[in-house]
Structure 1
Amino acid sequence: MSSESKSSQSEKELSGLVLEQKIKGSRKVSNYLVASMLSIGGVGFLLASFSSYFGRDFLPLGNPSTLIFVPQGLVMGLYGLAAFLLAIYFWRLINIDYGSGVNRFDKNKGVLSLSRRGLFKNIEIEIPIDEIKAVKLEVREGFNPLRRVSLRIKGRKDLPISRVGSPKPLLDLENEGAEIARFLEVNLEGI
């Protein structure tokens, strides 16, 4: 056997012993749209407030310089400031890709490693694979739907490991749960 075939065979064996899932974070189109709208709206309200204070039109639309500053201009300035601060928060979440991370099931080391990006620090959890009792699929329909994959762990609460956000299609959820359960050789619960 050549060295190339030996190395590719060992890579396949290693890949059979390690399962890695990448989790998407807050870099979604909807977050970009919300942050953009908040930025534009916040700047617009602030410019309207400045226009009413200085008596000059800083906005090309309307005539905000005719607004009375004390009740209307001041309130518009507060709305603009609130929207602008919220936009900064959204852009910060997008910048750090809040919630993104990796689920790494490593049979070589016998450890499940979860890592997620947090706002001020990264969150990393390591759990021995032996403590995982089952893979649980949670589905709740209605006003606030929930579809997630979680792990049942001995002596602890269920640990959710799927992405937060819009609900996944049931087929994708089942496939993800089945893949993890098959890899860990544990039961699949739920649905």
Structure 2
Amino acid sequence: MAVPLASKPDNKLVLRQSVLGARRPSNYFWAAATTLGGVGFLLSSLSSYFKVNLLPFSDPTQLVFIPQGVAMGFYGIAGTLLALYLWLIIAWDVGGGYNEFNRETGQLTIFRWGFPGKNRKIEVTHPLTDVQSIRVEIREGLNPRRALYLRIKGKGDIPLTRVGQPIALSELENQGAELARFLAVPLEGL
């Protein structure tokens, strides 16, 4: 998702690419499913202990608290804590940020949000003259990987794409070619 930012449409001095972090639709789905499951198991456990039906769609009061209610309580607490973790990383947008390449200042900035703390903001800047190339990594199979890397002189490779779901091959090629053209560096790995 490369979006040139400029005051005029024909001005190509700044290229800014947004990077999707934890606010992906799949994370929302899994957080909601885990919340429903965890709370459901917890309410089943409490229903079996207090012998009061807390669930509208079933009757867990017939469960024996030890061992069934305890097991459901354990799974309910574990599921609720996992759901809380998922909702927090979505709220903090861990991994989200942008890649900005600015010809006007001669700097590139890679910014990502991390977990709360003193290192919450992760920001890397380099001069554009230190960029050697754009490297594309494509690995298919059981654990596919499709990523763009920025090769910096004396620093190694810096990842530019999001972590998690692989990007479509055509989108990866387009992003890599656009960035290589913008920076006037070679595109490796295709």
Same-fold call, TM cutoff 0.5: yes
- SS of equivalent to 2:161: coil
Deviation at 1:185, TM superposition (A): 0.8
Task: Trace 1:77-116 onto structure 2 (pairs within 5 A).
Answer: 77-116=73-112
Partner of 1:159: 158
* 12, 26, 44: which one aligns with 1:16: 12
1:109-158 deviations in whole A, cap 9, x for unaligned? 21110111112112111111111110000000001100011111111221
Cα distance, 1:87 vs structure 2: 0.7
Aligned residue identity for 1:56: V
Instruction: Give, as a single letter, the amino acid of the residue that structure 1 aligns with 2:81.
Output: L
Cα RMSD over matched residues? 1.8
Count of residues in correspondence between the two structures: 182
Counterparts of residues 20-169 of structure 1 (less than 5 Å): 20-120=16-116, 121-169=120-168
Between the aligned partners of 2:44 and 2:34, the Cα distance in structure 1 is 15
Amino acid at match of 1:84: T
TM-score (norm 2): 0.89
Aligned equivalents of 1:62 and 1:24: distance in 2?
A: 39
Structure 1 residue runs of 5 or longer lacking an equivalent are 1-9
- Structure 2, unaligned stretches of length 5 or more? 1-6
Greater CA deviation, 100-109 or 138-147? 100-109
Name the CA distance, whole Å, in 1 between partners of 2:123 and 2:154.
19
Tell me the distance in 2 between the aligned counterparts of 1:38 and 1:66: 24
The amino acid that maps onto 1:151 is: L
TM-score, normalized by length of structure 1? 0.89
More deviation, 22-31/179-188: 22-31
Cα offsets for 1:18-70 (capped at 9, x unmatched): 11111122222211111111111111100110011112221223331122212
For 1:136 and 1:29, the matched residues in 2 are separated by: 28
SS at the partner of 1:20? strand
Residues of 2 paired with 1:57 and 1:20: CA distance? 54
- 1:7 alignment counterpart: none
More helix by share: 1
What amino acid does structure 1 have at the position aligned with 2:70? L
2:164 partner SS: coil
Larger displacement relative to structure 2 (59-68 or 120-129): 59-68
AA matched with 2:87: W
What SS does the aligned partner of 1:44 have? helix
Given residue 36 of structure 2, which amino acid in structure 1 is its aligned partner?
I
CA distance in 1, matches of 2:36, 2:79: 9
Describe the SS at the equivalent of 2:156. Answer: coil
Counting only pairs closer than 5 Å after superposition, residues 162-181 of structure 1 correspond to structure 2 as: 162-181=161-180
1:80 Cα offset (Å): 0.4
